[in-house]
Structure 1
Amino acid sequence: MAARLIDEDPERAHQHALAASRRAGRVAVVRESVAITAYAMGDFALALRELRTYRRISGNDDQIALIVDSERGMGRPDRALEEARSVDRSALPTPTRVALAIAMSGARLDRGELELALGELEIPELNPDLAFEWSPALFDARAAVLEDLGRTDEAAFWRERAEVASAALGHGDDDEMIIEDAYEDLPDDPQTDDDAETDDDAAPEDPTEDSAVDGSVAEEQRAEADPVDPAAPASDDAEDAERAE
């Protein structure tokens, strides 16, 4: 329900996530859901706390970009960059690595470092002729930085490619779509020479750390999956046993 509602009603989605945390506060995906819904509501302090707890429980860095962005939301771009540098980016899945590059570029913008912000986006995935799931956001981020730098022609080029990539990805199920043909009427990429290169693990209100998940959950799930109908006739084995008696 949190995932279903987060786009249209983040506050209600957050309430669903909190309800889950009261029942299963030591489950990583539950703490992740609390963090994501808190972030969507603009509660960056709670998002950071829950993201760090999620990372501790799961051992994964797959939400590092959200951690960086939450630090930015708290007005701490320096700490955002420190968080970003604390992980091995080469070990991250490609979508996570791209999201992290975008978040780091944003932190550079917060510090007024426009050329460095552009440099953070100079990654191998920045290919204007291919569309992946991360391409529209990456192209848009580059366009935004170029606009801040006053390079409007280049910004327009990447903005158009972001739009075409979004359209291409919306008409197929492939992870990768070659969209070179869709760019036939678009201008070439302008060539330039100046492109640059504390943890708080406490749970939210209504403490969740004591809500350990035990074998009873599995029993409930099995019962829900295979309910017993009291009105159902006895099995053949039971009837045979009665006749034998």
Structure 2
Amino acid sequence: MSERFSRDRNRNSDSGRPHRERGERGGRDDRRGQGRRDDQGARGERDRYSRDDRRDGGPRAEGARRGEGGRRPERSDRRGDRREGGRYDDRRHSQRAGAERDGQRRSAPQRSGFREERLNKRLSEPDLPGDIDVEDLDPMVRQDLKVLSKDNAEAVAKHMIMAATLMADDPQLALRHARAAKDRAGRVAVARETNGIAAYHAGEWKEALAELRAARRMSGGPGLMAVMADCERGLGRPQKAIELGRSEEARELDEEGRIELAIVVAGARLDMDQAESAVVTLQRMNPSLTSTGQAQARLSYAYGDALAAAGRKDEAKEWFAHADAIDEDEQLDAADRLGELG
């Protein structure tokens, strides 16, 4: 199953996937060294899907119907009305649905056709295999889903599992599952985050950016910034990616998150034909030829890519060689890049 829902999920990390997977080719549009990452973590807030179950037409316009002169009819079986000395109290129950307050009435929260639209979306959801075990989902994510009804939470969990499972091999189907989860749990941050990550993998940059922004508004924190910046690049707005790298929130990222964001910002500089600026951006992350770990492998690869773009071939070869040596997960094509440089 995808790392996105691993049990060691960190709420605000920007841990990444490979920036360029082995065997992929292409020019600068491939954003070498800047590939997709599976951001982790976001907390949910309470889901209010129960509002969707309100009956058509919204709350009653008058609360409790009144007789002539605005006075309620004196009926002994009316529940909730108070009697004083055998007569009904004229005080209004201001908290009743539809009751007037300060000269205004509450309006119905449902828009026309909402129930039909929701039903149609659920009918068009992708099929779920019968052998999915919701226990495979991260316990923290399952906890977020407890604000939903039991049946709905189970369906959302299964769609999220399928989205994570299919993200690498079939990103379009993964996105359909992620959208189904979002449609069922739109007020749960982790569902919006899942939709955003799946849209990112499917190349739907605008949708990805909108969903990730929504997830961040719900959960707070500086997470997801690297993916959001890469979405800005995908939309042809590298300057926006650079601005995210300069934001106050960027300073709140952990070390790995800062590396991921710096790699994307350097890629944005390359998009703008500013190779030397890309080199400087990555130098701020203090790349080292004695470093280890997958995050450092990605940093070394991106640094080599920027050096190559700046015409500093010998230095680039040194960093590609180091990236290849410490790429324990074999996610990078550093060896191929070395071959290209001769």
TM-score band by shorter chain is: 0.5 to 0.7
Matching residue within 281, 294, 310 for 1:120: 281
TM-score between the two structures when normalised by the length of structure 1: 0.66
Distance 2:171 2:183 in 1: 18
* Within-5 A mapping of 1:1-245: 1-167=162-328
Alpha-carbon displacement from aligned partner over 1:177-209 (angstroms, at most 9, x marks no partner): xxxxxxxxxxxxxxxxxxxxxxxxxxxxxxxxx
Alpha-carbon RMSD across the aligned residues, in angstroms, is: 1.5
Contact 2:229/2:244 (CA < 8 Å) preserved in 1?
yes
Amino acid paired to 1:140: Y
Q: Describe the shift of the 1:62–1:125 C-alpha distance in structure 2 as closer, same or farther (beyond 3 A).
A: farther
For 1:134, what is the secondary structure of its paired residue? helix
* Letter in structure 1 aligned against 2:294: E
Quote the Cα distance in structure 2 between the aligned partners of 1:127 and 1:10: 35
Q: Deviations over 1:13-48 (max 9, x none)?
A: 111111111211111111111111111111111111
**Identity fraction in percent:** 40
Gaps of 5+ in 2: 1-161, 331-342
Q: Secondary structure at the match of 1:26?
A: coil
Q: Which moves more between the two structures, 158-167 or 123-132?
A: 123-132
- Is the Cα–Cα contact under 8 Å of residues 199 and 208 in structure 2 kept in the other structure? yes
Q: Max radius of gyration: which structure?
A: 2
Scaled by the length of structure 2, what TM-score is found?
A: 0.47
Gaps of 5+ in 1: 171-245
Secondary structure in structure 1 of the residue aligned to 2:283: coil
Are the counterparts in 2 of residues 25 and 31 from structure 1 also a CA contact under 8 Å?
yes
Report Cα offsets for 1:48-99 as digits up to 9, x if no partner: 1011101101102211011111111110111221222223433211111100
Separation in 1, partners of 2:281, 2:258: 11
Letter in 2 for 1:54: A
CA distance in 2, matches of 1:34, 1:87: 26
SS of alignment partner, residue 327 of structure 2? helix
Going by fraction, where is helix more abundant, 1 or 2? 1
